[in-house]
Structure 1
Amino acid sequence: MIIPDKFLSDEQEPRAVEKVVGKLNDMLSSNEELIYLAVQKKPAVNLLPDCIAVSNKRIFYCEPGNFGITMNFKDISWKSIKEVSFKEELFGSKFICVPQHGENIVTEFIPKVQARKLYQAASEQLENFREQNEKKETEDKKAPSLNAVFEDAIEIEESVIVPAAAETPAAPYIPVVEEEDETTLKLRKLKTLYDKQLITQDEYEAKKASILDSF
């Protein structure tokens, strides 16, 4: 298996990286990619190090099990994360993930260079998620609802258009308008919205049923 250089650029343990990268790639969802991977380096025996991987959608925690025969994976999405941080110590660094709910997730003995880059990658992806989420919320607030479109259309249709007077009118023309009841008027205007493709057929049928129910 060919391991991308970005996962070995900071002296990560090659065997540990090889064990997790292939499995992580199989777990990625559509449009998801791995950004960075850090490997634990314990001060004494480092036979079974934990790994932390950052993707554009979540953080993976990879822990060897059964004396290295198996690998346990758990992940936490960016929407569930409050903040990330790291703390440098005598032997490496602690990488700390603070979830929105529950206890902090702390991983010790991450090499200092890897901890800095892990924190940088995680912080950037967390910030990107928040910006996209805020943008989506703003767009949702600006998007008009079906009722708003319907009411605006009624107001436009009910506007009185006064034709310009002729220079020498022979006699004023007074149109005879047959008076319609309120329900018929609403149904006719709803049909106009549908014909102009301002609403979908499902929205048309739902609004029509609502008007008839109130009749």
Structure 2
Amino acid sequence: MYIEQYLNEEQDPKIVEKLLGKLKDMLTSGEVITYIAVQKKPAVTLLPDCIVITSKRVILCESAKLGLTTNFEIFTWQEVKEVAFKEEFFGAKFTIIPQNGENLTVEYIPKIQARKLYQLASEALEKKMEEQRLRELEFKKATTPPVMLKSTADLPNIEPPLKPTEEPVLKASVPVPEPEDELTLKLKKLKTLFEKQLITQAEYEQKKNDILSQF
């Protein structure tokens, strides 16, 4: 297993190589190690603790029995509530807060490694929450009964409202004037000429008698 990809922030190559030899037999199918942080105390650190981030878990590795054995505290991302870190004068404290149980803290993690741990762990937790949200959404869709539309036969028989009866409107009959005969028209014209003083009284009487004689 290549170790160069895990030595970006001045991790101890010997510690990383030794730890990878133990972790390679612990990884599940499809699981990939993404980061390894190595404890560095102010004095010489002979047996440093380590924190390992994988695609599925976070692993705390504590040396025991003068480095002959290693104690592992393993949490899947579903078991982690959140992570936190606090920078101090010498390095930083990195804390894992599980869903159940006590918090676990590793001190003297180099500050740059603690920041990287926090970044990767936060991304893994966000991904877990999104996957959980999608699963809950799919479950809700699968368990929600479909809405059945009622057929028209099941609907109550509601007759359309009756339109108000329109009463017939009686229209007043307009009398059609009868056409005037020729004699009447001549008499009206003659009178008009007299009223406009275009003919004399005598001429009017004479013409009127002539017209009436034709009746």
Q: TM-score, normalization: structure 1?
A: 0.66
After superposition, the C-alpha distances for 1:70-129 in whole angstroms (9 at most, x for unaligned) are 222220111111110110000000001111122111110000010000110111011101
Paired with 2:21 and 2:121, the residues of 1 have a C-alpha distance of 21
Instruction: Give SS of 2:24's match.
Output: helix
Letter in 1 for 2:52: A
After superposition, the C-alpha distances for 1:22-50 in whole angstroms (9 at most, x for unaligned) are 22121111121111110000111300000
Greater Rg by CA: 2
User: Which blocks of at least 5 consecutive residues in structure 1 are unaligned?
Assistant: 161-215
Counterpart position of 2:37: 38
Letter in 2 for 1:27: M
Instruction: Give SS of 2:85's match.
Output: strand
Letter in 1 for 2:26: M
Counterpart position of 1:75: 74
Identity percentage of aligned residues: 52
Letter in 2 for 1:40: Q
Give the structure with the larger helix fraction: 1
Instruction: Give SS of 2:89's match.
Output: coil
Paired with 1:123 and 1:35, the residues of 2 have a C-alpha distance of 13
Letter in 2 for 1:42: K
Instruction: Give SS of 2:11's match.
Output: coil
Letter in 2 for 1:63: E
Letter in 1 for 2:7: L
Letter in 2 for 1:18: E
Paired with 1:2 and 1:77, the residues of 2 have a C-alpha distance of 24
Counterparts of residues 47-196 of structure 1 (less than 5 Å):
47-144=46-143, 148=145
Counterpart position of 2:8: 9
Counterpart position of 2:212: none
Paired with 1:27 and 1:84, the residues of 2 have a C-alpha distance of 23
Deviation for aligned residue 1:131? 0.5
User: Which blocks of at least 5 consecutive residues in structure 2 are unaligned?
Assistant: 154-215
After superposition, the C-alpha distances for 1:188-213 in whole angstroms (9 at most, x for unaligned) are xxxxxxxxxxxxxxxxxxxxxxxxxx
Runs of 4+ in 1 over 6 A off after TM superposition: none
Q: TM-score, normalization: structure 2?
A: 0.66
Deviation for aligned residue 1:144? 4.3
Instruction: Give SS of 2:36's match.
Output: strand
Paired with 1:35 and 1:106, the residues of 2 have a C-alpha distance of 20
Instruction: Give SS of 1:64's match.
Output: strand
Counterpart position of 1:24: 23
Paired with 1:15 and 1:127, the residues of 2 have a C-alpha distance of 33
